[in-house]
Amino acid sequence: MSDLELVNISKRFGPTVALDAVNLQLERGQVHALIGENGAGKSTLMNILAGAFQPDSGSMEIEGRPYVALSPLDARRHGIALIHQELCLCPQLTVSENILMGMEPSRWGWVDRDAYRRKAMEVLESFHHPDIHPDRPVGQLTIAARQVVEICRALAAKANIILMDEPTSSLQRADVDHLFTLVRRLRQEQISVIYISHFLEEIREIADHCTVLRDGRSVFSASIDSATDNELVTHMVGRSVDNLFPERRRTSGGEIVLEVPDLVAPPLVKQASFVLRRGEILGIAGLVGAGRTQMVRTLFGLEPAQKGTVIVKSQAFSARHGKPSNRILQGLAYLSEDRKGEGLALALSLADNVTLTRFSSCSRWGWLNLSRQRAQTQTWIERLAVRAQSPLQAVKNLSGGNQQKVALARLLHQDVDILLLDEPTRGIDIGSKAKIYEVIARCADENKAILLVSSYLPELFGLCDRLAVMSRGRLSPARPISEWTPESVMQAAIGGKIETAESR
């Protein structure tokens, strides 16, 4: 008997059809991968299972009995827990309070603090994350550490069915390994898992079966071992994606447009120096927490520097007095890794978000020309294949992948020479990745200079001309990508002896 069965589940949001007669069957103790492009309906389906949305039609069964979840609490009572893609934590509360929210241990009507910490520690010990202490406020944690807390909250619920929506999007490899060990343990304990990921290598490592959603419909379902990557990608995007990375000529770049000597921004950035040239893509690799994001944020004036100089087109500026407004005027654009928290104004329209850092393109005498603003935004919607009803649609109503495209469209509309991209394809499906890679390569061909921070090595090797590695706050010298191997990058990231491709 199936642990969970969905039959002809449909859901519509106004004129938008999110799900159209989706079918899915989950066996007990199975890890079932749910894959598809952003906007295919994966998160909507998970929210229906978790009680956040109600389906318009269709039926659900758990162990052969009808299942209807009227609320997330109702879903938990039926043994279903959801790990959200976008973190749903209370930053002012402690780690233990977030993990046990709704399950607080009590004694004589009072919260039992000792039991609180003990139960939280039982779950946290599975990860051994050094930054996470039960009494520490979640708002003080890194994004990766918050992701671990989100996972622990679902595990603490002792659910029979766990829904994981992109659980590894902010985790470094060591934490991914811990998570996969836990998933395998859950499988041995006959706990079922629905696992959403855009990384096919992850799916092959952990899943038993897969279902592909495209445009709100379930178009393919099979054992993961019986399907090739090309077959899965073709079902996901509706066409064959032969080459994920665009062909481009490797270049040593033109004139230096950005030079950063001896940047120091404690506690995470101890020393970073590099030069960036026109027409090149310089990659920055490293483990989560190594200081890559902090380095880029300091460059853009979002975090304070202790010392250092930022030289833009031969003009020197103090890193200690940098401001985002100044960096924009100097010709820099920054894409944050946190698109919801920093990269977008979610309540505003696509048009407002795209033109936000360059209103001058569609205004005169301080007044916006709304028709010109909409026309400019529509151009970017078409170029980046953003799935949206119109330029006036609120960004908060788009899928995560389409939100990321809007954030990138803002940078392109800004029309500057230097792009600082921090994890530009995090949480993006394969089809959207191919489009964004094409856009990044085209920017380099147009003689723009690109600094690309990424945790995904294939992305760095597929796009970059040169690569530097951040390790414990120190940036290695940048070398041509041909001199690196995946092994040497990891050696540099953990602070070991670097073995180059030429020395092998």
Three-state secondary structure string covering 354-407: HHCCCHHHHEECCEECHHHHHHHHHHHHHHCCCCCCCCCCEHHHCCHHHHHHHH
| Amino acid 422: pLDDT | 94
* 107 vs 69, residue with greater confidence: 69
Spatial distance between the Cα atoms of 398 and 97, rounded to a whole number of angstroms: 31
Lowest pLDDT segment from 130-139, 172-181, 193-202, 273-282: 172-181
Nearest of 379, 451, 394 to residue 417 by alpha carbon? 451
Most confident listed range (53-67, 136-150, 247-261): 53-67
The larger pLDDT score, comparing residue 401 to residue 195, is at: 195
Find the mean pLDDT for residues 385-402.
88
In this predicted structure, what is the pLDDT of residue 121?
83
Q: For residue 59, what pLDDT is reported?
A: 94
Q: What pLDDT is stored for residue 498 in this prediction?
A: 46
Query: Quick one: pLDDT at residue 503?
Result: 43
State yes or no: pLDDT of 116 exceeds 80: no
pLDDT at 1 over 60: no
Q: What is the mean pLDDT of the chain?
A: 86
Q: What is the DSSP letter of 178?
A: H
Given a cut of 70, is residue 85 above it in pLDDT?
no
Reported confidence tier of residue 336, pLDDT bands at 50, 70, 90:
very high
What is the pLDDT confidence band of residue 430, given thresholds at 50, 70 and 90?
A: confident
More confident residue, 348 or 495: 348
Whole-number percent of the chain with pLDDT over 90 = 47
Q: Return the H-helix or E-strand segment holding 206.
A: helix 200-206
Q: Give pTM, 2 decimals.
A: 0.67
Confidence check: pLDDT of 434 > 90: no
pLDDT at 84: 76
Find the helix or strand (DSSP H, E) in which 408 lies: helix 400-414
User: How far is 390 from 286, CA to CA, in rounded Å?
Assistant: 38
Residues 340-347 have a mean pLDDT of 87
- Over 80: is that where the pLDDT of 278 sits? yes
Give mean pLDDT, residues 132-149.
80
Share of the chain above pLDDT 70, in %: 93
Cα separation of 295 and 316, whole Å?
18
CA–CA dist 335, 472 (Å, integer): 23
Separation of alpha carbons 38 and 388, rounded Å: 12
User: 361 falls in which pLDDT band (50, 70, 90)?
Assistant: very high
* Helices 400-414 & 430-445 angle (0-180, nearest 10): 10
- The model's confidence at residue 293, banded by pLDDT at 50, 70 and 90, is very high
Neighbour tally for 86: CB within 10 Å? 15
* Residue 504: band (very low, low, confident or very high) from pLDDT cuts 50, 70, 90: very low
Asked, as a colleague might, if the bond just before 72 is cis with ω within 30 of 0, I would say no
Residue 197 has pLDDT above 80, yes or no: yes
Confidence of residue 91 (pLDDT cuts 50, 70, 90): confident
Does residue 147 have a pLDDT over 80? no
pLDDT at 242: 56
